[in-house]
Amino acid sequence: MQTLTQRLANPTRFMELSGSVLPWIAGAAAVVIAYGLYLAFYVAPPDYQQGETARIMYIHVPCAWLAMAVYAMVAMSAFGFLVFRHPLADVSAKTAVPLGAAFTFLALVTGSLWGRPTWGTYWVWDARLTSVLILFFLYLGLMALRSSIEDDSLASKLTAILALVGIVMLPIIKFSVDFGNTLHQPASVLRVGGPTIDTAMLTPLLVMALGFTLMFVAMHFKAMRNEILRRRVRALQLAQVEKAQASQLAAAE
């Protein structure tokens, strides 16, 4: 008797299932983001201090959340790959890294654009900014390490080890950069004692966060499917080359 995860971990089963689910998730992402944008631009009130510029929050905050959540997912996939040796976990880790890097980059850029009118500068060496920037470098390191090793299975294992080292180091890095003072506002949604943000702004934010998460899931599924197909094509090509070599040898004899 297989468990649900075991059944889903079969690449063929995964291809079938993700193929049928993907259009729905992508559609849901589009609808939710469209609704979220409508809420953000027409329904949510402008901030009493920052005015209209605060609306960039509805893009910035979901990106920042995903930047961290995707790294956690990469690390979990890496763990799954190292412990259970399942190729699908590696496919998941490999394809999530560029997406996570993209969200981190967007969080940095939107934050920088938001910082200019409100803090008066594009960049400050503040604790949160610094730790997100370092997170971005960790993503880049994962991509660079994987692309620098020719042997694919070796590259997967080494990248998985690096991802786990990274997840151990991240809290320490976060703690160390928090050591200094911070300009960034403290966490205002997920905190003990309930959110400090008003419902009129919280609702669009949560809708956008849901939409961005759905978008990530859709893109991740698509990327995983592409990667599986790429590996199959490669296996077929290798098989063809071997076959051709074998027939050449046979002809020579």
Partner 1 sequence: MSAFLALLKRDLMLSVRQGGALGTALGFYMLVVTLLPLGLGQDLNLLSRIAPGILWIALLLAALLSLGRVFSSDHEDGTLDVLATGRMPLEMVVGAKALAHWISTGIPLALTAPVLGLMLNLDIAVYPLLMATMLVGTPAVSFIGAVGAALTLRSYRGGLLIALLVLPLYVPTLIFGMAAVNGLLGVSGTSAAMLILAALSLTSVVLCPFAAAAALRVQMQ
φ and ψ of 242, to 5 deg? -60, -40
Classify residue 45 by its DSSP letter.
P
Among 8, 15, 164, 167, binds partner 1 (CB under 8 A): 164
* Region of 17-25, 88-96, 159-167, 236-244 interacting with partner 1 (CB under 8 A): 159-167
Question: Beta partners for 51?
Answer: 47
| Cβ 176 to partner 1 shortest distance, Å | 4
156 within 8 A of 90, measured Cβ to Cβ: yes
Which residue, 139 or 212, is less far from partner 1 as judged by CB?
139
| Position 161 contacts partner 1 (CB under 8 A) | yes
For position 177 contacting partner 1 by CB under 8 A, the verdict is yes
Task: For residue 163, state whether it binds partner 1 (rule: CB under 8 A).
Answer: no
Counting contacts by CB under 8 A, is residue 203 touching partner 1?
A: no
Q: Determine, following the binding rule CB under 8 A, whether residue 48 of this chain makes contact with partner 1.
A: no
Q: How many residues does the chain have?
A: 253
Q: For the CA atoms of 44, 46, 47, 52, what is the dihedral angle to 10 degrees?
A: 130
* Binders of partner 1 in range 120-149 (CB under 8 A): 130, 134, 137-138, 140-141, 144-145, 148-149
What distances in angstroms separate CA 63 from CA 67, 105, 120, 176, 205, one per listed residue?
6, 9, 22, 23, 11
Helix (H) or strand (E) holding 246: helix 199-252
Question: Near partner 1 by CB under 8 A, which window of 65-73, 85-93, 153-161, 205-213?
Answer: 153-161
Residue 175 binds partner 1 (CB under 8 A)? yes
CB atoms within 10 A of CB 14: 19
Provide the binding-site residues for partner 1, judged by CB under 8 A.
82, 130, 134, 137-138, 140-141, 144-145, 148-151, 154, 157-158, 161-162, 164-165, 168-169, 172-173, 175-177, 179-180
